[in-house]
Structure 1
């Protein structure tokens, strides 16, 4: 084999250029996005308080307006109650998915109560305007109260609102109610946009901490933005916490979950997934109550596990870092470049092994074909697993004793002084 043949084949120049160009385009897109976000001003403390309070007020008012359409609201809830697991997960809070049977039971209880109230209102024989004006607010208030206890996300109410505004004239809300819904929805969306844009730099800051975990930075930022929007939905300004502190938890959670879904190297045993889910749910609840990341002791007390168990499960749930993760973006150094390999032979050991292999082949070449075959099979010299004398005898159709005799004769030949020259320096 010529020296040129022994050299590793390099990718074709066109393929290398394509890979470099693709990476440069991705980096350019990320830099352009970062420059764009850098031009968006941050929210002041007063603006943050104003927008978060206004968003929550708009959200509450929209729910009260939707409660004026009980058939639509209850019909939408009935669809969610009958939905698949994946569809249900999109409409309810993550922590509530831990007990799906209990969640659907709550939905059915609200549906029964709401329908009973609606039937009582319909059973009024030609109710006067005064009676109807008195009962309708009671039904609306009752629905607001019952739905407020359900773990429904904002997207559920958004879908109800879309259905209400797109309903046929016969089912559509009156003009005054419709105009108010549109007005409040527009204000809510504007405040949501202001909060999100004012905290996009926070998402970038958190995403950069996970830049070497196997996902491109721009993808991490997108996942973090989803977590930021969830934080906007869940934040309660009346608790007195800073929104940025609260949002950091949701951003980090969205990113880590995306990393876990992108492919886990080490799988978590199925019997531990439930405990990890309970820990995540307890952390979410404690973050809402305290406004910051809870200590392991508080989480352990909330889920009824030992502190050591909680720490072990949280450590187990962490995403494994790929050995191909880039450590230095300038020279594309990977993590594997800094980890010693105790399995693969060093270049010197590989060279010595190759020389010994060549010496063995030369010595074996002095034997006849049957002798070479028996030694190769018995000692695994051809790269296969070593075989017993019994297995070798079956292949040749001879007795084990005859195979042993042939092997003994072959080894005696190899020990002859005329053949020891092949192994000078090895003994």
Structure 2
């Protein structure tokens, strides 16, 4: 028995998923954090679990490439974080030189001032990056110091809770005991905020890798920030690792979960999303190489799947489109306005029927009330249900033969050229 087969499955890690992950690692030779997070989408992450996964992959001889998660001040510039930007970014207007500031203010027109203001506030992504860029990245010792303050604050909060239980009323706790504890709790909360704010750019650098997955950039950042908060709460500084080494796991997991839950109207499992993206990517590559859309069979050979599987993936890749989607530049038309309802009557046919009903009504107006009623009942013009001679006879209290005679006389009257002329065109169309 090999050494790898005797290794225990990390606590909380799905056994079958781990087997597939290891097999995928052996096949590729290496794994990325995205490969692992796809398996850990619903698993509660802990530093211990992350360490065990790393150890297991290392023991199996699988390279676990986390180099893409390294973040420095150099690669967290405003321009790089917005590339590719979700929307075109307006270039910032350079500030005037201090010496000419007064002259510029005097010469600036209202239109120019409005344009300058619009440039500064038009792009929320750029505004956000500008704000978080003001906070410098932390060194290892600074992270440890903040983590220690957070830990001290949690301990102090626990002692405050014990004092509240002991005295029964927070107002009864002696100020000499409560004040230093409250101060420590507040310091811990501030340290938590500092650690979070110093790593917001890490979230942005990870979130931009998930652009094009069906969520807006700011939504990806928001979800990643929630993962960052969770990472701060779980961070164990005693292990000696840099905070970002662990934080990326929670950030990636939070974003991946959000994409799976929110990006599509019909939810698709994360592993299927990766497969769909792979097939679509290969399909685009083959389109460029062949100059045409590849057939299902050609695509299946390229991605190593059966044609039936490729067809199923292409079907899953289709996304619902709202009938309220605006069409055109004016946004006055919607997609639903251009989609034919196969069950509905065509406009031309509906108009013809309306005109026919009107013509028939005018012709019947020349009959007596009794004749008109009999014709309408016999031919279902009342409610669409044609009556028999006997049914009509019962309603009028006469025999069926008498109804037949009246009907025959009435139809002969309607067939007179003067009355039938207006209806003859409709008969010719039929």
- TM tier relative to shorter chain: 0.3 to 0.5
Larger RCO (CA under 8 A, 6+ residues apart): 1
Q: Which has the larger radius of gyration?
A: 2
Q: Normalized against structure 1, the TM-score is what?
A: 0.43
Q: Normalized against structure 2, the TM-score is what?
A: 0.42
